[in-house]
Amino acid sequence: MSKRLFIALPVEGRTQKLLKQNLNKAKKSLDSNLKWVSGENLHLTLKFLGDTKIEKIEKIESTLSNTCSHYNTLNIFYNHFSAFPSTDYPKVLFFGLNGDIKRLKNLQSKLEDSLSEIGFDKENRKYTPHLTFARTRKSTDINKLKNEYNNFINKNDLRVFQKTDKVSLIESKLYKSGPVYEEIFSINLT
């Protein structure tokens, strides 16, 4: 038996509330056919593990504990809106961030290395920290979305602070209504 897992910095409390408000503004401004992330599911992914055998969870927890014990709390500022691959061709809409980005990337890199030692493939793409809030669908009119999104970006300011003091192992359960995330384990940053 397996579980669909990922490792992330959870978004909780006041930060979640403020980002949900920005998400709601985006929903009102963007007419295009998008798949929205639920405000309760907002998180900053560090590593997607995918379908993972249950017996491997204990090793993952140990790896997380050992790696994260060397890291202090991270200060993150969600301070802009952007898109992948670009705002001229928006397929994934996200909250961009700054703050302790160098330390965040270092943490992600160390997790990537540590997890590869217990059998997880390293990601080939460069890690770009972001918080996804919407994705396009096959039927999304990209040109229309590009205009709407760039107009939205120009009219809205994003300033949300997050003091990140834990890293979580999360299970993603997929349902027709959308994914439901359940924290399996977390480790506090000192």
Strand bridging mode 74-86 / 89-99? antiparallel
Domain count, the chain: 1
pLDDT bin (cut points 50, 70, 90) of residue 90 is: very high
| Whole-angstrom distance, CA of residue 134 vs CA of residue 94 | 7
Q: What is the CATH number of the domain that holds 125?
A: 3.90.1140.10
pLDDT bin (cut points 50, 70, 90) of residue 182 is: very high
Quote the pLDDT of residue 190.
84
Residue 51 or residue 177, greater confidence: 51
Cα dist from 169 to 84, 124, 172, whole Å: 25, 21, 10
Evaluate if residue 138 carries a pLDDT over 80.
Answer: yes
User: What DSSP string describes 14-37?
Assistant: HHHHHHHHHHHHHHHH--S-EEEP
Evaluate if residue 32 carries a pLDDT over 80.
Answer: no
Distant-in-sequence, close-in-space partners of 12: CB < 8 Å, separation ≥ 6: none
The 3-state DSSP class for residue 6 equals strand
For 91-128, the pLDDT digits (tens) are: 999 999 999 999 999 999 999 999 999 999 999 999 99
The whole domain housing 131 covers: 2-188
Mean pLDDT of the chain: 95
Beta partners for residue 97, in sequence order: 78
pLDDT bin (cut points 50, 70, 90) of residue 19 is: very high
Quote the pLDDT of residue 9.
97
| 8 A C-beta contact, residue 134 and residue 41 | no
Quote the pLDDT of residue 177.
84
